[in-house]
Homo-oligomer: A and B are copies of this chain.
């Protein structure tokens, strides 16, 4: 049986705007011009406005009544707050994953880990990120908690654009890889408590790098 995935215009629009924000085509703090995007997407304002409502509750844009939608700025404060919350969520995912994960899933994650390591050794940052993300996703899935997964995903959207702009120092990269090595050990031992701790720490390290990425919109004059 083939699953028909019914797509809606507002869903498509939301996804495209999300990408545009992450890729820097829509800049933080700037207005999102409804009319322009409607023409670009070839849709009317109704579904586009619905998409903006969705993005607003995801925290990607902010809606100012009668003044339109703006791309939210990633302040340092907000980034710290978000990483703190994501740390708690990923920590929980680690704890739960160790309780429920199957042998096969652990093996899959190990495989992903080795692929990631290969890209690390070759200093191929994009593919490295790719596999890195897939490992974290796999742990999320293993936690058998959809609410957790969705909540995490929603926060993750907001900070994706940081990742697009991150430049890793050798020192941090080494640390990140070490974290991942330890994570694999925890999974093999089913040591949920320690995996949770490592993941929370891991997120704290990520914050440091992210904060230095240059997409932070602090101390810019805010014309609101």
Could you list which residues of chain A lie within 8 angstroms of chain B, going by C-beta atoms?
A: 6-8, 10, 46, 49-50, 53-54, 56-59, 65-66, 78, 81-82, 84-85, 88-89, 91-92, 96, 145-148, 150-151, 154-155
In the A-B complex, the 4 residue pairs with the closest CB atoms: A6-B65, A81-B147, A88-B92, A57-B57
Nearest to A147 among chain B residues (CB) is: B81
A selection of 16 A-B contacts at a CB cut-off of 8 Å is A6-B66, A8-B65, A50-B50, A53-B53, A53-B54, A54-B56, A54-B57, A57-B57, A59-B150, A81-B145, A81-B147, A84-B148, A85-B145, A88-B88, A89-B89, A151-B151
Nearest to A196 among chain B residues (CB) is: B88
A50 touches which of B53, B59, B89 (Cβ 8 Å): B53
What is the CA–CA distance of A91 and B95 in the complex, to the nearest angstrom?
14
What is the CA–CA distance of A155 and B147 in the complex, to the nearest angstrom?
9
Copies of the protein in its oligomer: 2
Q: Classify the interface of chain A: helix, strand, loop or mixed.
A: helix
- Residues from chain B with a CB closer than 8 A to the CB of A88 are 88-89, 91-92
- Residues from chain B with a CB closer than 8 A to the CB of A49 are 50
Contact B85 A147 (CB under 8 A): yes
Nearest to A63 among chain B residues (CB) is: B8
What is the CA–CA distance of A89 and B84 in the complex, to the nearest angstrom?
10
Contact B147 A78 (CB under 8 A): yes
Nearest to A82 among chain B residues (CB) is: B147
Contact A146 B81 (CB under 8 A): yes
- Residues from chain B with a CB closer than 8 A to the CB of A81 are 145-148
What is the CA–CA distance of A50 and B49 in the complex, to the nearest angstrom?
8
A53 touches which of B10, B92, B146 (Cβ 8 Å): B10
16 additional contacts (CB under 8 A) given A53-B53, A78-B147: A10-B53, A46-B46, A50-B53, A54-B54, A54-B56, A54-B57, A57-B57, A59-B147, A59-B150, A81-B146, A85-B89, A85-B147, A85-B151, A88-B89, A88-B92, A89-B89
Contact B96 A92 (CB under 8 A): no
- Residues from chain B with a CB closer than 8 A to the CB of A58 are 57
